[in-house]
Amino acid sequence: MDIEKRQLTTIKDTSVFLLSKPSDFARHFLYYMIGLGHFYATEYYTEARPSNAYDSFLLMYILNGKLYAEEGGSGCEASAGSIVLIDCYSRHRYRAIVPTEFVYIHFDGNNARAFYEEITRSRGRNFLNAHFEEQSEKLLHLCSAIESGEMPSEGDISVLIHGILCELCEKSAIEYSLRYSAAVRNIVRYIDENYASPIGIRDLSRKCNLSPQHMSRLFRKETGFSPYAYILEKRMHIARELLSFSDCTVEEVSDRVGYSSSVNFSNAFKKRYGLSPGQFRRSQ
């Protein structure tokens, strides 16, 4: 694992900015780090990346200040004590609203996406606003260790990343059961199990014994998504996995995620990720 240090003009000199090049072994068998930092950002700090420009997942913990983050058109403000989790395979951006201190790690691994989807499932959006001081301390300690020349092994870093993800996953599962009503949990479960089949609003309303209008309002209130938007998001995530890790043709992927027309699927995929399914597959 090689470490490179850099400096940006929109962060203060006291900031730590490290880039890591993981070994082939780490990429195949471990959770691995490709970037790590402890930033003191000015109010002019901003990052904006297109799809697949920085292939990783980004975990940020806001220590002080306030930051705006957006992924795939869904955004929020995160203040001190908040964690922001972003899928950097998708189009995303984030910026400091005021001078902001945060610690972050860019990471990936064989089932990092599964963790990401499970963690973010609890809120329907890609951002967690809760207090996770323990996780921030672990990242700060890792920054300090590398800065002082005490290079941890790739195995140690993998264990740290996995531990943080497990803790976030556990807390998100608890939050999921507390945050969502039984009706919305039933709808989410039904969509997760039947996304490849045609799903109508009346199908969902029957699952929770509510009128279509009441069900739609309740679902949007609790998840931040309309039922249709949640179905689309689920289908797009599965499609991306199939394009990345299977030999399915675009037509087969389209069929497996519930589209009767590969043209409609391709248009929806390009609108979501900025690339056609074929372009996305070639970029992997």
224: domain CATH number is: 1.10.10.60
Strand order across the beta sheet in which 57-64 lies: 2-5, 16-21, 32-41, 100-108, 57-64, 83-87, 127-128
Q: Looking at the structure, do residues 145 and 259 belong to the same domain, yes or no?
A: no
Report the distance separating Cα 198 and Cα 22, nearest Å: 42
Q: How far apart are CA 104 and CA 121, in angstroms?
A: 21
What is residue 126's predicted lDDT score, i.e. its pLDDT? 45
pLDDT computed for residue 251 by the predictor: 94
Q: Which are the contacts of 41, defined by CB distance < 8 A and separation ≥ 6?
A: 10, 11, 12, 15, 65, 67, 96, 99, 100, 101, 102
128 and 254 assigned to the same domain: no
Please check whether residues 8 and 123 belong to one and the same domain.
yes
One domain, residues 174 and 191: no
Q: Which of 178, 194, 227 is the last residue of a domain?
A: 178
Radius of gyration (Cα) for the chain, nearest Å?
A: 20
Dihedral sign (CA 101, 120, 126, 19): positive
Same domain, 219 and 96: no
User: What tokens appear for 212 in the block?
Assistant: 């279509």
Q: How many domains does the chain have?
A: 2
Measured CA to CA, the distance from residue 1 to residue 20 in angstroms comes to 7
Given 135, 158, 178, which residue is the final one in a domain? 178
One domain, residues 36 and 154? yes
Residues 155 and 245 in one domain: no
Task: Check residue 65 and give its pLDDT.
Answer: 93
Q: Which of 109, 88, 85, 89 is nearest to 161 (CA)?
A: 109
Report the amino acid identity of residue 217.
R
The boundaries of the domain holding residue 198 are 182-283
Is there a single domain that holds both residue 66 and residue 171? yes
pLDDT on residue 215: 92
Q: What is the CATH number of the domain that holds 99?
A: 2.60.120.10
The pLDDT value recorded for residue 124 is 46
Of 178, 195, 210, which one is at a domain's C-terminal end? 178
Residues 168 and 27 in one domain: yes
Cβ-in-10-Å burial (0-12, 13-18, 19+) of 194 comes to middle
The values of phi and psi at residue 100, to 5°, are: -135, 135
Q: Are residues 91 and 193 both part of a single domain?
A: no
133 lies in the same domain as 29: yes
Same domain, 228 and 265: yes
Residuewise pLDDT in 10s, the chain (284 residues): 555 455 555 566 667 777 888 999 999 999 999 988 889 998 889 888 887 777 899 999 898 999 888 886 667 778 888 888 888 888 888 999 999 999 999 999 988 998 888 887 655 444 555 556 777 788 888 888 887 778 889 999 999 999 888 888 776 655 555 567 888 888 988 888 898 999 999 999 998 889 999 999 999 888 778 899 889 988 988 888 788 767 889 999 999 999 999 999 999 999 888 889 999 888 76
